[in-house]
Amino acid sequence: MELGVAMLKSRQALSLLSTEPSSADSDAIPVDSKVASRIVDLRSDTVTKPTAEMRAAMASAEVDDDLLGVDPTVCKLQQQMAKIFGKEAGLFVPSGTMGNLMGVLVHCEVRGSEVILGSECHLHIYEQGGMSTLGGVHPRTVLNKADGTMDLQEVEAAIRPLNDDCYPTTRLICIENTHNRCGGKCISVEYTDKIGELAKWYGLKFHIDGARIFNAATALGVSPERLTRAADSISVCLSKGLAAPVGSVLVGSSEFIAKARKLRKALGGGMRQAGVIAAAGLISLRDMVGKLKDDHHHAQLLAEGLNAIAGLKVDVANVETNIVNVEVTTDSALGAEDLCEAMKERGVLSIATQGTRIRLVTHYHISNDDVQYVLACFQDTLLKTIAVHRENGI
């Protein structure tokens, strides 16, 4: 099942249960229940709810009309984000999808431009092909390796020769860091710099989908500025592990952001008293960035525990941030989708993707105890299913 459909189905299940994610700290871990008394929501870090501090900041946010460029809270957020990434300016946008779309469309103003991007990247797979639908931009994919990178020689080979009437004109290279479908893998400074050098050499622009760039910077132990120095633009999400309810910030040069601001209006992304939501983003930067390492630790525990369960396989060494991709092997008593459904009955929400895979994402609502509960549930569910199969001679 694909992620969007899975999220919707899980939401329906969730509405039958409690609405608050659990961070209970009980010693005993009850796992044998048809009606879940506890919810551990690992579908995504997008499910995070605003913290009490965010809600307070939102309630008291100083606001004005951001389409006139005078909302003080939005201006503060944009400036802070630009400073963190060492870029000249920032622009608050409603979503990561819009941030990426604007990154592409501003760099590829001319119809018939082409973008080189990874075959597994979010921009290509989950953003409705917005670049071509809305901007007349053609995507040229290069195979993503398991670590989320593209082979540099293949990237270079994908750059179209100039002065040939047959080809679109390559104008942009995009990468994603961390790489979602590659299990939250971090893209290194060295690789990012190399893509930057390549782009510069060929006169191309370089955009980073940095939906989880703070996770990458945390795991790599490098500043966001250094990690993204080679890029012309970065779209940074506040609404993933940073727990803000809404929003992303696109950063780049002043000239780039001026064009993006104009385009944002055309896309319907101009928001008036947006300081109400930008206020939560400021708390994300103040309070939540430092907590991401805990999410990574929990993902590591989850990965190790799941990998020890017969029928499940996790490439533990490759779990670097907050995403855990679990392969459900042929030894498992249940396939990925059925296992996900069975776990839902116990209040453990996850998403089955790509046939044999389950994706689990940790975030600040997930405690150590939740991880233990989830492991116990997986173990118990699979063992009980085997017993039932045996009873029925399956």
* Residue nearer to ligand TLP on the CB measure, 260 or 333: 260
Residue span binding ligand TLP (CB under 6 A) among the ranges 55-63, 64-72, 95-103, 198-206: 95-103
Task: Give dist(CA 102, CA 219) in Å, integer.
Answer: 27
* Residue nearer to ligand TLP on the CB measure, 209 or 379: 209
CA nearest 362: which of 149, 219, 176? 219
Side chain identity at residue 21, one-letter code: P
Please pick, from the candidates 48, 51, 97, 385, the single residue that binds ligand TLP as defined by CB under 6 A.
Answer: 97
Q: Residue 46 interacts with ligand TLP (CB under 6 A)?
A: yes
Which residue's Cβ lies closest to ligand TLP?
A: 96
How many residues of this chain bind ligand TLP (CB under 6 A)?
15
Q: Residue 96 interacts with ligand TLP (CB under 6 A)?
A: yes
What is the total residue count of the chain? 394
Q: Residue 350 interacts with ligand TLP (CB under 6 A)?
A: no
* Residue nearer to ligand TLP on the CB measure, 320 or 381: 320
Side chain identity at residue 226, one-letter code: R
* Residue nearer to ligand TLP on the CB measure, 180 or 325: 180
Q: Residue 211 interacts with ligand TLP (CB under 6 A)?
A: yes
Q: Residue 169 interacts with ligand TLP (CB under 6 A)?
A: no
By CB under 6 A, the residues from 5 to 44 that bind ligand TLP are 44
Residue 294: CB atoms within 10 A of its CB come to 16
* Residue nearer to ligand TLP on the CB measure, 239 or 381: 239
Please pick, from the candidates 239, 321, 367, 379, the single residue that binds ligand TLP as defined by CB under 6 A.
Answer: 239
Q: Residue 284 interacts with ligand TLP (CB under 6 A)?
A: no
By CB under 6 A, the residues from 328 to 347 that bind ligand TLP are none
Q: How many CA atoms lie within 13 A of 185 on its CB side?
A: 21
H/E stretch holding 56 = helix 52-59
Q: Which long-range contacts (CB under 8 A, 24 or more apart) does 30-39 make?
A: 31/346, 31/373, 31/376, 31/377, 31/380, 31/381, 32/380, 33/345, 33/346, 34/345, 36/344, 36/345, 36/346, 36/347, 36/348, 37/347, 38/347, 38/373, 39/14, 39/347, 39/349
Please pick, from the candidates 41, 66, 114, 176, the single residue that binds ligand TLP as defined by CB under 6 A.
Answer: 176
* Residue nearer to ligand TLP on the CB measure, 144 or 180: 180
Which tokens hold the place of 264? 């944002």
Extract the runs of DSSP E, i.e. beta strands, from 37-124: 40-41, 89-93, 113-118
Please pick, from the candidates 187, 237, 299, 349, the single residue that binds ligand TLP as defined by CB under 6 A.
Answer: 237
Q: Residue 311 interacts with ligand TLP (CB under 6 A)?
A: no
Q: How many CA atoms lie within 13 A of 337 on its CB side?
A: 10
Please pick, from the candidates 29, 75, 88, 126, the single residue that binds ligand TLP as defined by CB under 6 A.
Answer: 126
Residue 12 dihedral angles phi and psi, to the nearest 5°: -65, -40
DSSP one-letter string for 296-355: HHHHHHHHHHHHTSTTEE--GGG--SSEEEEEE-TTSSS-HHHHHHHHHHTTEE-EEETT
| Smallest separation (angstroms) from ligand TLP to the CB of 328 | 19
Interface with ligand TLP (CB under 6 A): 3, 44, 46, 95-97, 122, 126, 176, 180, 209, 211, 237, 239, 248
